[in-house]
Amino acid sequence: MTGDQRRARPHRSRPQHRRHSATPAEVQIPIPCRSGRMLAWAVLQLAETSDRFLQDLLADFDAQTDLSGAERALAVDLSSGVMKRRRTLDHLILSQLQRPRSQTEPGLWQILRIGTFQLLAGRIPPHAAVHTAVELCRELGQSRWTGFVNGMLRSILRLFSEEETEGPSAAAVPAVGGRWIRLTEPIFADPAAETALWFGQSFSLPSFTAERWAARFSSAELIRIGFASCDAPVNSVRVNLLRAWRNDILQSFHDAGIEAVAGNLPCSIRLQKTLRPDALPGFREGLWSIQDESAMAAAELLAPLPGERILDLCAAPGGKTAHLAELSGDRAQIVACDISEYRLHRIRQNAERLQLQGITTQLISPYGENIPEGPFDAVLIDVPCSNSGVLGRRPEARWRLDADSLQELIRIQTRLLLQAVDRVRPGGRIVYSTCSLEPEENEELIRGLMPVLKQWQMSLPRMHLPGSPADGACQILLTKNN
C-alpha cells in the first residue's frame, strides 16, 4: 500500500452517516446533468450510498455531460463544500425545520443543503441562492418541492443577521475566509461549556474527531484548524531550482495576471487562487510543480545528497520523489515504489516533464514482498494515513475516521516502517511522514517501536498544523547508528 493509495482511499470502513442501501428512489439521478447544481446534487446523492470519492463520481458524470468549464467548477465547489460542511448545514436546517427530518425525502434534503451552503458561502447574493435552489427542484422534475425549499431557505436566511462577529459563540457560524456570521438566535452549543460539541457542530466534524482535537489543541488552534478544514485549500508551487529561479517564476505569473507571493521555503510560491496547472506559464516546460509547503518539508528534512541511493517507499503521485531528485541536484539514485503501474507511469511522466534523470520506478505488491533490497542511504516513507491534516483537500476524509479505521492504519504504518528500517545502511536515515494530526499515527507509533529499533535515534516530530499556513502534516527523522 503506497502514498497514492492513501490519497485515493484513506481506509475502507464505511462512514457511520450512511444508512441507505440504494440511491433514493423518489428521484432518478439525471443523465445528462444540465447544470452545475444538478451535477453537484447527483454526485452528492450517489456519495450517500457509495464508498467512492467525489472526484471519481464527478469524473464519471463529466464523461456523460457537456457542461461549460464554469458549470463544472460550480459542481466541484458545491459538492465539495456541502460534503465538508454537512454537519453544520444539517444543524442550520434542523434549527428551522418544523417537522421530523424523517419526513423529508433524501433528495429534497440534499437541495436544502446545497441552498444553505450557498447562503453560508456568500459567493452569490442570498436571493440568487434561494432562487437557484428552487429552480433545481424544477430541473429535477420535482415542482412539488419548490414551496418547501423556498420557505425553508428564507427562514434560514432570516437566521443570518447582516452583521459579522469577531469570534465564536452559540449565535455565530463560521463562514469562508475566517469570517463569523452573527445569528439571530443561538443554535450551537456553548463554546466555553461544551467545546467539543460546539466545535463539531460549527466546523462540521464528527464527534470522534472533535472530541480528540478539543482535548489536545487550544481554542486559537482549534479555530485555525477548523477554518483550514472547511475552506478551500491554499495552493503552492514548488519551483524546480535546477531549471529556474523563484523570482523569475513569480515575475512570469505576475506578467500573466496571476496573483502569487513568495512562500515560506526558498523554492515555494503561494497562489492566491486555484488554477489549472497546465494553464500557467512554465508548467509544461518543467519549471515548477504543484505541491503544498508541508509536503515539501518532508524531502527537505531527508536532505538527499548527490551520489546517495534513496528509496521512496510510498511514492505516488510522485511530488516528493521529484523534490528529492531536485534537492540532490539530480545526482542521487532514487527508487520510487508503488503498487500500481498506472501511478508509476505518472511518476515517470512527471520526471520527464521536470527533466529529471535520477528516478527509477519499481512495482511492488500491496504487502511489499518485492520491495527493493538495500542497503539504502536514506528512505522516505509517506505512509497511508487518516488524512486528518488535509480535510480541506479531501472532502470525504472527515467522515471516514473512527477508532477501528485508525487501528487498521496503525497496523499498516507499523509494517511499512519495519520494512523500511531493514533496508537502511548503518549511519543512514529515514523520514517517516504523514498528513495526519493524530499522535497514534505519528510520534506515539514511533516511540512505541523504539524498544525494537535499538540501533535508531528519533528526532523531535515536526508538526504542521492546518492553516499555518499550509496543510497539516507530521515528519519524523530517524537516524541509524553506525
Distances (CA, A) of 27 to 24, 136, 152, 274, 413: 7, 12, 20, 33, 42
pLDDT digits (tens, 9 = 90+) for 101-144: 999 999 999 999 999 999 999 999 999 999 999 999 999 999 99
Position 340: which residue type? S
Average pLDDT over residues 64-84: 93
Residue 64 has pLDDT above 50, yes or no: yes
Average pLDDT over residues 245-272: 96
Return the C-alpha torsion angle 108, 109, 115, 118, nearest 10: -150
Residue 212 lies in a domain: no
d(CA 120, CA 167): 16
Weakest-pLDDT range from 22-26, 95-99, 124-128, 142-146? 22-26
Residue 472 lies in a domain: yes
Residue 210 lies in a domain: no
Domain limit, last residue, from 131, 163, 195: 163
Instruction: Supply the CATH number for residue 315's domain.
Output: 3.40.50.150
Average pLDDT over residues 10-29: 43
Residue 127 lies in a domain: yes
Residue 7 has pLDDT above 90, yes or no: no
Neighbours of 452 (CB within 10 A): 11
| Domain that includes residue 110, residue range | 21-163
The 3-state DSSP class for residue 17 equals: coil
- Regarding whether 448 and 303 lie in a shared domain, the answer is yes
pLDDT digits (tens, 9 = 90+) for 436-445: 999 999 999 9
Average pLDDT over residues 407-428: 96
Instruction: Supply the CATH number for residue 44's domain.
Output: 1.10.940.10
Distances (CA, A) of 147 to 28, 90, 105, 132, 264: 21, 19, 14, 13, 51
Domain limit, last residue, from 101, 135, 163: 163
Predicted confidence band of residue 279 (pLDDT cuts 50, 70, 90): confident
Predicted confidence band of residue 27 (pLDDT cuts 50, 70, 90): low
Residue 276 lies in a domain: no
Residue 37 lies in a domain: yes
Average pLDDT over residues 438-459: 97
Do the Cβ atoms of 237 and 289 come closer than 8 Å? yes
269 strand-pairing partners: 237, 262
Residue 285 lies in a domain: no
The 3-state DSSP class for residue 394 equals: coil
Q: Which of 172, 108, 168, 97 is nearest to 134 (CA)?
A: 108
- pTM of the entire predicted model: 0.90
Residue 157 lies in a domain: yes
pLDDT of amino acid 274: 80
d(CA 321, CA 295): 11
pLDDT digits (tens, 9 = 90+) for 204-241: 999 999 999 999 999 999 999 999 999 988 899 999 99
d(CA 37, CA 133): 8
d(CA 148, CA 130): 11
Contacts for 441 with CB less than 8 Å, ≥ 6 apart: 383, 385, 386, 406, 409, 410, 413, 434, 474
Do the Cβ atoms of 424 and 375 come closer than 8 Å? yes
456 strand-pairing partners: 480
pLDDT digits (tens, 9 = 90+) for 361-416: 999 988 878 899 989 999 999 999 999 999 999 999 999 999 999 999 999 999 99
Position 213: which residue type? W
Domain limit, last residue, from 163, 183, 205: 163
Give the number of residues written for the chain. 482
pLDDT of amino acid 23: 43
Position 464: which residue type? H
Q: How many structural domains are present in the chain?
A: 2
